[in-house]
């Protein structure tokens, strides 16, 4: 029987907070044993230490600052009232002054003055009451006339299947359902009933957009990551139940006496009061302790905080932690957003890229000193150098942005791939300093090893990347000592020194050159967790591999999965999947629905099994 869940204040003691990448990998396997599974020996690793910024791993976050607990509902109400106060204060002097003036004028001023005063009093005596605004204690719409930059891009509701670690509510199954170690895909009925059309997976929380334009969040609410108050929630014991469409080994067989915060574990919408009236959302994104949404007007709203090595960095210049949504100033006409662990990229309609958040691994694409680290939370334009390639200068207009945990990549409209940030495992594709301690790429550099590959999209984990080509092939590079690449270890050992970096024990550690994963064909979607990956082919089948200590591969295995393996159980066997998301220790896949029916390959999933 798994032990009782540790108090939130002890999260910082989790193994995933170790700065050494290999120690983290081994410690997390040991963490699985503490929940009731036999302890397994971790493979010996000798990686270079992570960059300093990597002390906050996606797998387990530090607890919320004890001095900054999420505000109770009463405090939120007070904030809302204070936002309305200025309007009332402004109206009061205008009304009181004319009332007082006539009294004095009646005794000392001539009749002419007395006759004039009532005219002013009549004009301001009964002012038109101000129309109440929904954003009473939150952001307002950016200045200027309302304009449409983005059309609605997610309109079809999804049927979502979740798996992996859910002991902190990450799976959104509610507080009364057994949610620890969900070994294979389990249907999340709540998300389907809400009409979810897009989901973003953060370290230990999720953000979703619904068809009726609501923002729904669930999971760990450290530092305001959920954008709503979850304090004073009842803690419910998880019940043992048989989930729809799950196999006999889908969940842990042992009972659990641990409880979940009901307000965190249950997908719940953020109040619309924090957004301007008639705001329409088009995209959501999630980091470690932060979340962001994009509107049709190209405005960005966010909440939570960014963390640095020493603790909380802050969310904005004058905001340490935003427990509810705030408008991100300095951004205009944004068309796409992407989150790393503690940094964000935004792309505008002119192809310009903006970055903000923690810069301690140079993931913002500019040099930021420790003295000016506080300024890094201000969105700043990323400059791309002029460099001749094949006798031509690459375009500086970007069309695709992606964040790894501590690095960033973009694709330009002429097909070139740029990267910057942490590079001690060749994350940015720059082989010169890969493998060195605290190696990084400060400013955007071309990934020359991807030239001519017709890259359509990229997904990034902590130390590895997947690139999807126009022909449906998948290329992988980066860290490879924990089954991150999906390539056989025997093949990795056979590579020469130009393509692989070995440990002192002769084990492959870094794959330097983007390499095709031969077992994957006709792939249409790729995504990465910290150390595992999920892809979906054009027929709707999902394949996963990598670190699986918490069953985040959905294969029913808690050992590392070396090769891409189809995710297959009665819940998803005959379902045409179109989307996948990967968090710190959990994952999800989804199919589209239409009129309540799942779009499948011709078989009714409710009759499978």
Q: What is the distance between the alpha carbons of residues 474 and 471, in angstroms, rounded to a whole number?
A: 9
Q: Is residue 18 part of a domain?
A: no
Q: pLDDT band at residue 373, thresholds of 50, 70 and 90?
A: confident
Q: Is residue 533 part of a domain?
A: yes
Q: Is residue 46 part of a domain?
A: no
What is the domain range of residue 441? 158-230+266-592
Lowest mean pLDDT among 189-198, 218-227, 245-254: 245-254
Q: What is the distance between the alpha carbons of residues 188 and 446, in angstroms, rounded to a whole number?
A: 41
First-to-last C-alpha distance (Å) of the chain: 28
DSSP state of 375: G
Domain of 375: which CATH number? 2.130.10.30
Position 232 scores a pLDDT of 83
**Angle, helices 73-108/111-124, rounded to nearest 10 degrees:** 160
pLDDT at residue 164 tops 60: yes
| Residue owning tokens 């924090």 | 274
Beta bridge partners of 589: 161, 580
Q: pLDDT band at residue 54, thresholds of 50, 70 and 90?
A: very low
DSSP state of 274: G
Q: What is the distance between the alpha carbons of residues 190 and 267, in angstroms, rounded to a whole number?
A: 7
110: Cβ–Cβ under 8 A, 6 or more apart, which residues? none
Other C-beta atoms lying within 10 Å of the C-beta of residue 470: 10
Are 198 and 283 contacting, i.e. CB atoms less than 8 angstroms apart? yes
DSSP state of 273: G
Q: What is the distance between the alpha carbons of residues 420 and 441, in angstroms, rounded to a whole number?
A: 5
Higher pLDDT: 24 or 431? It is: 431
Other C-beta atoms lying within 10 Å of the C-beta of residue 594: 9
Q: Report the run of H or E that residue 206 belongs to, with start and end.
A: strand 205-210
Q: Is residue 369 part of a domain?
A: yes
Q: Is residue 361 part of a domain?
A: yes
Alpha helices in 313-431 (DSSP H): none
285-322 confidence digits (pLDDT tens) = 999 999 999 999 999 999 999 999 999 999 999 999 99
Angle ∠(363,368,370) on CA atoms, nearest 5: 115
Q: How many domains does the chain divide into?
A: 1
Lowest mean pLDDT among 16-25, 312-321, 577-586: 16-25
- When the pLDDT of each residue in the chain is averaged and rounded to a whole number, the result is 80
Instruction: For residue 471, give both structure tokens.
Output: 């022909």
Other C-beta atoms lying within 10 Å of the C-beta of residue 62: 20
Q: Is residue 342 part of a domain?
A: yes
Of the candidates 508, 446, 453, 519, which has an alpha carbon nearest to the alpha carbon of residue 478?
Answer: 508
Query: What percentage of the chain has pLDDT greater than the value 90?
Result: 63
Q: pLDDT band at residue 140, thresholds of 50, 70 and 90?
A: low
Position 388 scores a pLDDT of 74
Lowest mean pLDDT among 253-262, 384-393, 461-470: 253-262
516-539 confidence digits (pLDDT tens) = 999 999 999 999 999 999 999 999
Kindly state the average pLDDT of the residues 261-273: 96
Other C-beta atoms lying within 10 Å of the C-beta of residue 528: 26
Alpha helices in 183-269 (DSSP H): 189-194, 262-265
DSSP state of 371: T
Q: What is the distance between the alpha carbons of residues 246 and 250, in angstroms, rounded to a whole number?
A: 6
pLDDT at residue 83 tops 60: no
- Burial of residue 546 (number of CB atoms within 10 Å: 0-12, 13-18, 19+): buried
pLDDT at residue 93 tops 70: no
Instruction: For residue 188, give both structure tokens.
Output: 């999340």
Lowest mean pLDDT among 85-94, 137-146, 179-188, 528-537: 85-94
Instruction: For residue 507, give both structure tokens.
Output: 């084990």
Q: What is the distance between the alpha carbons of residues 447 and 430, in angstroms, rounded to a whole number?
A: 7
Q: What is the distance between the alpha carbons of residues 527 and 283, in angstroms, rounded to a whole number?
A: 17
Q: Which stretch, 87-91, 97-101, 466-470, has highest mean pLDDT?
A: 466-470
Q: Is residue 454 part of a domain?
A: yes
Are 116 and 256 contacting, i.e. CB atoms less than 8 angstroms apart? no
Q: Is residue 114 part of a domain?
A: no
Higher pLDDT: 242 or 378? It is: 378
Of the candidates 380, 352, 351, 353, which has an alpha carbon nearest to the alpha carbon of residue 367?
Answer: 380
Instruction: For residue 100, give both structure tokens.
Output: 């007082």
pLDDT at residue 196 tops 50: yes
Q: What is the distance between the alpha carbons of residues 555 and 483, in angstroms, rounded to a whole number?
A: 15
Q: What is the pTM of this model?
A: 0.76
Question: DSSP labels for 47-100?
Answer: PPPPPGGGGS-SSSPPPPPTTSPPPPHHHHHHHHHHHHHHHHHHHHHHHHHHHH
Q: pLDDT band at residue 146, thresholds of 50, 70 and 90?
A: confident
Position 247 scores a pLDDT of 54
Position 50 scores a pLDDT of 42
pLDDT at residue 224 tops 60: yes
Position 5 scores a pLDDT of 38
pLDDT at residue 463 tops 80: yes
Give the phi and the psi of residue 366 in degrees, each rounded to 5: -150, 155
Q: pLDDT band at residue 144, thresholds of 50, 70 and 90?
A: low
């Amino acid at each position: 029987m798994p032990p009782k869940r540790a108090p939130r204040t002890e999260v910082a003691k989790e193994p995933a907070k170790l700065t050494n990448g290999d120690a983290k990998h081994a410690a997390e396997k040991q963490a699985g044993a503490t929940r009731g599974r036999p302890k397994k020996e971790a493979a010996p690793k000798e990686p270079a230490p992570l960059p300093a910024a990597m002390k906050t791993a996606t797998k387990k976050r530090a607890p919320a600052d004890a001095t900054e607990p999420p505000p109770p509902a009463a405090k939120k109400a007070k904030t809302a009232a204070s936002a309305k106060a200025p309007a009332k204060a402004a109206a009061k002097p205008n009304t009181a002054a004319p009332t007082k003036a006539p009294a004095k004028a009646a005794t000392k001023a001539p009749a002419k003055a007395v006759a004039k005063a009532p005219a002013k009093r009549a004009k301001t005596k009964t002012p038109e009451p101000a129309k109440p605004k929904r954003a009473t204690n939150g952001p307002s719409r950016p200045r200027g006339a309302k304009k449409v930059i983005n059309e609605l891009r997610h309109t079809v509701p999804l049927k979502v299947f979740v798996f992996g670690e859910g002991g902190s509510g990450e799976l959104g199954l509610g507080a009364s359902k057994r949610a620890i170690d969900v070994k294979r895909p389990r249907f999340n009925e709540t998300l389907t009933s809400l009409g979810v059309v897009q989901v973003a997976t953060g370290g230990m929380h999720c953000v979703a957009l619904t068809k009726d334009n609501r923002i729904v969040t669930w999971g760990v609410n450290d530092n305001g990551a959920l954008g709503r108050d979850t304090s004073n929630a009842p803690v419910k014991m998880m019940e043992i139940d048989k989930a729809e469409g799950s196999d006999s080994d889908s969940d842990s067989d042992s009972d659990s006496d641990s409880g979940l915060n009901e307000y965190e574990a249950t997908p719940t919408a953020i109040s619309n009061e924090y957004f301007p009236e008639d705001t329409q959302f088009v995209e959501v994104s999630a980091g470690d302790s932060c979340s962001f949404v994009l509107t049709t007007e190209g405005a960005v709203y966010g909440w939570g905080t960014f963390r640095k090595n020493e603790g909380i960095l802050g969310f904005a210049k004058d905001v340490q932690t935003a427990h509810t949504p705030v408008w991100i100033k300095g951004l205009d006409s944004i068309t796409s957003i992407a989150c790393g662990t503690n940094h964000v990229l935004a792309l505008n309609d002119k192809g310009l890229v903006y970055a903000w958040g923690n810069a301690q691994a140079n993931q913002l694409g500019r040099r930021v000193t420790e003295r000016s680290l506080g300024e890094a939370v201000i969105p700043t334009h990323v400059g791309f150098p002029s460099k001749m390639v094949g006798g031509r200068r690459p375009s500086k207009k970007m069309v695709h942005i992606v964040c790894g945990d501590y690095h960033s990549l973009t694709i330009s409209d002429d097909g070139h791939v740029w990267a910057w940030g942490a590079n001690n495992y060749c994350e940015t594709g720059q082989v010169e300093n890969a493998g060195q301690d605290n190696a990084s790429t400060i400013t955007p550099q071309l990934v020359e090893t991807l030239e001519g590959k017709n890259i359509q999209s990229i997904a990034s984990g902590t130390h590895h990347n997947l690139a999807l080509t126009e022909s449906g092939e998948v290329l992988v590079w980066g860290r490879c000592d924990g089954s991150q690449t999906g390539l056989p270890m025997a093949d990795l050992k056979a590579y020469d020194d130009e393509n692989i970096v070995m440990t002192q024990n002769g084990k492959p550690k870094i794959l330097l050159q983007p390499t095709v994963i031969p077992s994957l064909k006709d792939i249409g979607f790729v995504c990465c967790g910290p150390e595992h990956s999920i892809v979906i082919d054009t027929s709707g089948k999902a394949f996963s591999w990598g670190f699986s200590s918490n069953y985040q591969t959905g294969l029913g295995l808690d050992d590392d999965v070396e090769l891409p393996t189809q995710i297959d159980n009665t819940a998803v066997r005959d379902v045409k999947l179109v989307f996948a998301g990967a968090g710190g220790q959990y994952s999800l896949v989804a199919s589209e629905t239409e009129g309540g029916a799942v779009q499948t390959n011709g078989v009714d999933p409710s009759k499978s099994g």
